[in-house]
Amino acid sequence: MQRKLLQAMLFWIGFSGTAAAGPQDALLIVAHGARQPEWNQRIFRLAEQVQWPGPVGVAFLMEAAPEHRLDTVAARLDAAGIERIIVLPLLVSSHSGHYEELRYYVGQRTEPPHHAHYQPLRTRARLVLAPAMDDHPIVTRILADQVRAVSTGPAGETLVLVAHGPNEDEENRIWLEHLRRHAERLQQQFRFRRIEVTTLRDDAPAPIRDAATEQLRKVVRRAAGDSRVLVVPVLISVGQIQKQIQERLKGLVYTMMETGLAEHPLAAEWIEQQASALQSAAAVRTR
């Protein structure tokens, strides 16, 4: 009962002032969600850390719980009389099927993606979609802290950044490009023997998925020949994907960081920066 009460309160964390203070922008944090309750709880805990002057909601793309459906949460925020709902995707990349889902839900595309679970949102408030994490410098800072926790001597280590990745080749190219930007910043700071980047492409057809698995194994096997291998998953939260990485690397020698981006205190700062940037851009357009 206490857990359900906490989750319900999250719809209003950060709400300050009264209705007399005038309309405010609401913040709708959207994550994929998981069947494991602890995965979802990490997102709730992150939302609690966000400092925002209006109402804040948390929703999941998969049906983790009825009260956290995207349309349900958007309707609750809309009922607060706000002017805009800033939809903040807690996703690794803006070049993915899940981000395309959100574009459809907020009215940025007319044709639904094949995996869309909802109809386009109908709100009085204007819907504004923020970018996902992509190659944002704050994400690099989070990765740096994760690396620092497992690295003992960068000059003798190979860092392998692994993300989930999309199905389409062009989108995968962009994912890898963003991972390389993180890698470049990390290399300037740590000076590893080398840094490799790769994606799992777990939802792609079997030939693509199998090729991605072989590429990951090849990278780790080769690096283990002359260095200590550190595998850092670039994921929102700990869950099934980490287990899949371990399964794919069975028989190889490596050390893996088992934590997600959403668990780091800087994740709340990233949310605040993304939302504030959209809010400022909207203010400029209305002058």
Do 208 and 272 have their domain in common? Answer: no
Do 110 and 124 have their domain in common? Answer: yes
Specify the pLDDT at position 280.
Answer: 78
Give me the domain span that covers residue 271.
2-132+264-285
Rounded CA separation 265/50 (Å): 10
Kindly report whether the global pTM for this prediction surpasses the value 0.75.
yes
Specify the pLDDT at position 281.
Answer: 72
* Domain total of the chain: 2
Parallel, antiparallel or unpaired: strands 228-234 and 157-163: parallel
Do 243 and 153 have their domain in common? Answer: yes
283 — pLDDT class (breaks 50, 70, 90): low
Q: Name, in order, each residue with C-beta under 8 angstroms of 5's C-beta and a sequence gap of 6 or more.
A: none
pLDDT digits over 59-84, tens only?
999 876 677 999 999 999 999 999 99
Specify the pLDDT at position 63.
Answer: 73
pLDDT digits over 79-133, tens only?
999 999 999 999 999 999 999 999 999 999 999 887 788 899 999 999 999 999 9
Greatest distance between any 2 Cα atoms in the chain: 66
Do 21 and 6 have their domain in common? Answer: yes
Do 14 and 110 have their domain in common? Answer: yes
Q: For the domain that residue 6 is a member of, what is the CATH number?
A: 3.40.50.1400
CA-closest candidate to residue 275, choices 3, 68, 82: 82
Do 97 and 202 have their domain in common? Answer: no
276 — pLDDT class (breaks 50, 70, 90): very high
Coil, strand, or helix at residue 93?
coil
Do 167 and 125 have their domain in common? Answer: no
